[in-house]
Amino acid sequence: MHLRHDAAYPSRRSPVLAENVVATSQPLATQAGLAILQLGGNAVDAAIATAAALTIVEPTGCGLGSDAFCILWDGEKLHGLNASGRSPAAWTPDRFAGEMPQHGWDAVTVPGMVSAWVELSEKFGKLDLETVLAPAIRYAEDGFIVSPVVGALWEKGAATLKDQPGFAATFMPDGRAPKAGERFRNPDAAKTLRAIAATKGRAFYEGEIAETIAAYAAANGGAMTVADLAAHHNDWCGTISQTFDDVELHEIPPNGQGIAALMALGMLEHTAIRDCGPDDLLAVHLQIEAIKLAYRDLDAYVADRDHMGEVDETALLDPAYLKSRAALIESDRAQDFGAGAPKLGGTVLMNVGDASGMMVSFIQSNYAGFGSGVVVPGTGISMQNRGFGFTTEQGHPNQVGPNKRPFHTIIPGFAMKNGKPLMAFGMMGGPIQAQGHVQLLLRTQLWGQDPQTAADAPRWRAIEGLDIACEPTMSAALLEGLESLGHAVRIEAPDNAFGFGGAQLVQRFDHGGYAAGSDPRKDGQAGGY
């Protein structure tokens, strides 16, 4: 692999080149992962360590009540893990009127993230959980210095969620959100992390912690029970993939949005994108149109895999179908394909590669910022709001119902080439994620940009109809060109922390070692040794 690094885009960063690398959205979490690698842990141990640390140092994107997904290369084989939780058994459709609630207990599905840590550790890890969770426990107990982007998001989230059950007591010491540069402690989370390590997660799903969660739900009108928590199980679901030239993009199967990236890539196979440069008007236009087509189907069909019926991933990825969809794209005008309008989200992503060749793409999320706003007293557990991913539309495959996984925005990404692992990568941030996977894959593989350059490059995001959001760093000529084709361009300021996502990329060299990049839109860091 030849790295192309240029200064075409504003950035403070160069790619990190090393035999062992960790890329995350918060430097303290990156350092936690590197510390575990230096103790003799492997990439899975490091991924769990960074994931746990992020629940403490970036609570604006994830917490101990999050969901998770993972794609990993174990040295010989690619694995996909779906650790998203299901709805409580009492969530019948008649419980909900109008739109799904975004906050409070009726937005909370069973959190699956802790089970992902445990299962990955037991199946692939080298170190015990006590060792791997130690950095997170230290940050929770002794405190950490709040970083700038996290501090800004914390203040924003607190203004919305301050009245949700348990939120202010944990996340608003002295009655306000901590500011960047201030120390924050979460000793209750340290206690929970210790119990998770000591019981290999059992306390969270069927022991004392589960009972505390269920009791707090009952006291505040929620439906979640100990039985709901105990019934949780993960799925080793493998991956689904799409080839573009000699590179395969792998994603987790539905209930996630990763299939939209595969569909768009499959459509782009049949366009003139190979004749373009990365920032050419035609290249950006073709990507936007393919994404819009993919998202229309995503909105209509994707749900819990067990509820999708005949329109499953096989039907949506059928080569003839994708070719027919590509034929709808016109090179000289934007079209309204009826794309949906997903909400913005809050997520953290980490990618790790170790010297043995093991590579991990791991993502965990509350969904929107702090999630539901519910924090279980005495535990430090902030609960996600993944239930907001359901719809109340009668007969829709993603209609809310009991013991069912909602549609998920969070997706880890992984690229293979000639049967060998090439890149663990992804992008946090709600609906930008599948769109971002396409942008990152093409920039690194078709146009040869290194991971940091690809992360630095200006991004676009299809919204609804002809509306697209673009970063102000995009060239004036490109913005004018998009408008001339009929795109309704919105310029969004870079302080929209999730609108254009936060990318983390780890790409492997043929001879061993990695190039890693971390998004300058976040506080993050790629580190290695």
Q: Are 432 and 260 in contact, with CB atoms under 8 Å apart?
A: no
- 136 Rama class: left (phi>0) / alpha (psi -120 to 50) / beta: alpha
> Phi and psi of 360, rounded to 5°?
-135, 130
Query: What is the distance in angstroms between the CA of the first residue and the CA of the last residue of the chain?
Result: 20
Whole-Å CA distances, 103 to 131, 402, 517: 34, 19, 34
Closest to 390 (Cα-Cα) out of 107, 33, 195, 52: 107
A 10 A CB-CB count for 296 gives 18
What's the CA gap between 44 and 5, in Å, rounded?
A: 29
CA 53 – CA 132 distance, rounded (Å): 10
Give the DSSP H or E segment for 381. strand 381-382
**Burial group, residue 399, by CB count within 10 angstroms (0-12, 13-18, 19+):** middle
- 60 catalytic? Reply is no
CA count, 13 A, side-chain hemisphere, 129? 23
- Give the span between the Cα atoms of 178 and 71, in whole angstroms: 34
| Sheet strand arrangement including 21-24 | 235-236, 78-83, 67-73, 359-367, 346-353, 21-24, 525-528
Secondary structure letter of residue 345 according to DSSP: -
Three-state secondary-structure class, residue 189:
helix
The catalytic residue among 347, 379, 391, 444 is 347
With beta carbons less than 8 A apart as the criterion, state whether 263 and 318 touch. Answer: no
The residues that are catalytic are 347
